[in-house]
Amino acid sequence: MEGDGIVNPITIMEPAICEKEYGKLVSLCFKVFKDGGSVRFQFHDEYPTKALAPLMLEDYRKVMVERRGEEEQFSYEHIIECMKKVIALDLKQTVNVDKDLQIRAYYAGHVLGAAMIYAKVGHDTMVYTGDYNMTPDRHLGAAQIERLQLDLLITESTYATTIRDSKYARETEFLKVVHKCISRGGKVLIPTFALGRAQELCLLLDDYWERMNLKVPIYFSAGLTIQANMYYKMLISWTSQKIKDTYATRNAFDFKHVCPFERSFINAPGPCVLFATPGMISGGFSLEVFKQWAPSEINLVTLPGYCVAGTIGHKLMSGKPTRIDLDKDTHIDVRCQIHQLSFSPHTDAKGIMDLVGLLSPQHVILVHGEKPKMALLKGRIQTELGIQCYDPANNETVFIPTNRTVKTDATKAFIKSCSIADFHISSNPLVGLTDSNCEAIELFRAVEDKKEAEGILVMDKTKRAKIVCENELMLKLGVEEHGVKFAYCCPVYIDFHEQTSHQLASGSCVALENENSSLEAARSPKCSSLQILHRRLESQICCKNLKGNPDYLKLNSITIHSCSRNFLSLPNQGGKTEADQCNISVVAGHQLIKIWLGS
């Protein structure tokens, strides 16, 4: 936390929190050891992440150094030393990292070990989702998180505007195009990452092959995928409910029709299906196979996930090219069939909106998305959910205002007062309260019942804050209470005929009960105006507690009486004569009430 705003937790915590992105572990590993391993860091991540991270980091190092010839940023020994600093988390386990920071992990779906991180720094709370999936699939469940009181939600927005078709429809279409390709003797290349989509689609194809009794081989590139499958077999508790339920009889990751692929099989005759990494055909084995299979019209490349702009996968998704230039001397003729279908483990726009609606944070920050689409999603969140949303650019700092709370003691009298409803006057006029000419009377406003208690915050000799009631403070200080009343005066115009007819009907006003009263006294504006107001209040508002008096009317804490202030200097209004004007004063404690009483 910094000032009154929440900033990226990675930049301010000594312990780093990794929610699954193994590619991002690369930068963290480099940061830890950039000074020869002298940086004091601890990592908090989940048990599957701790198990799989060394494999992913070493695979990345080999690709970058041994295959691409780039400068080595860290060694295998650095990876091993880095893993020694990792502290594993259980799901929903609350960890007090230090006196100010508390963290908790929630299941995120997406890939094995993915988690959303809840962090509480002082009294400020936030959730950083990382990548997550709100829809269950074959090998993993949907993200699970409880309702939390949050100041901030930081959520990915990879598919900020995409609404996916049903899972059944996507699986059916995928199986249909694969089956069609192998039926005519073609080869199917499925570029995918070793962790997540590879297991999901292997489960789908293995089940389909079993039901259809197909004999065409299904391969996955050896090495990393084999090791990842091994951990999937061991970490069953992190998988989908269906896999957990059938685990006692059969481990779903013991595939019947899927086997490792050898490089010698690339140009072997006959149909086959191959899962090869990486998923965006940005290099590695998937690019090597693509070079060989793309020129054939009977082959198929199906892209099951998101591809970053600039990769071959993205070029194929953007429209079928006939030629792809790798560099100035190398190009690939593309004649094969291209099929795109979203089996991405990222949640779609509906899932993002569902999560934001569930958590209802005070603020939302969108990350990990494309700027134009993030802007559209930002607008939806602000318009449909009424939540302030931000979509900062890379390296842009966002300051989020948060509510501050103070821990205090409270007296028994104050706590007791908290259980009593306090009625508040609404700011909106009472609808339907009109006089005979359908003019709104703003005399009484809607009453709202809010559980609020008023108290006074004091600091005693022990320097502890305490809330006391007003009368307790007066007693403690030994001082007398002084009340101040406020009055509002306004001119009231009463039709002379209404005034006269009322007096003739009633004989005289309450104040003129003796027989010696003169006609001039009976025509007193003070008397008749109060009587007319009394009659209207009783007839229109059912005022059972209204008390009449020759000099004033009283309704609970509101007292209405004639005012001695002279309004005759005011401009003539509504064609009324000065003789028809009467002044009314309303005293309502600390309330300011306006009265319009007109014919």
Give the residue numbers annotated as catalytic, written as ranges. Answer: 156
Report the C-alpha gap between 251 and 35 in whole angstroms.
45
Tokens 């999603």 sit on residue: 377
* Dihedral angle sign, alpha carbons of residues 512, 513, 514, 515: positive
3-class DSSP state of 513: coil
Task: Specify the DSSP element, H or E, that contains 323.
Answer: strand 323-325
Determine contact, residues 69/40, Cβ cutoff 8 Å: no
DSSP three-state, residue 330:
coil
Spell out the long-range contacts of 34-43 with Cβ–Cβ below 8 A and sequence spacing 24 or more: 37/78, 37/81, 40/14, 41/14, 41/15, 41/16, 41/85, 42/14, 42/15, 42/16, 42/85, 42/86, 42/87, 43/15, 43/16, 43/17, 43/18, 43/82, 43/85, 43/86, 43/87
283/62 Cα distance (integer angstroms)? 13
User: Residue written as tokens 């908790």?
Assistant: 104
Longest dimension (CA), the chain: 127
CB-facing half-sphere around the CA of 363: CA atoms within 13 A = 17
Length reported for the chain: 599
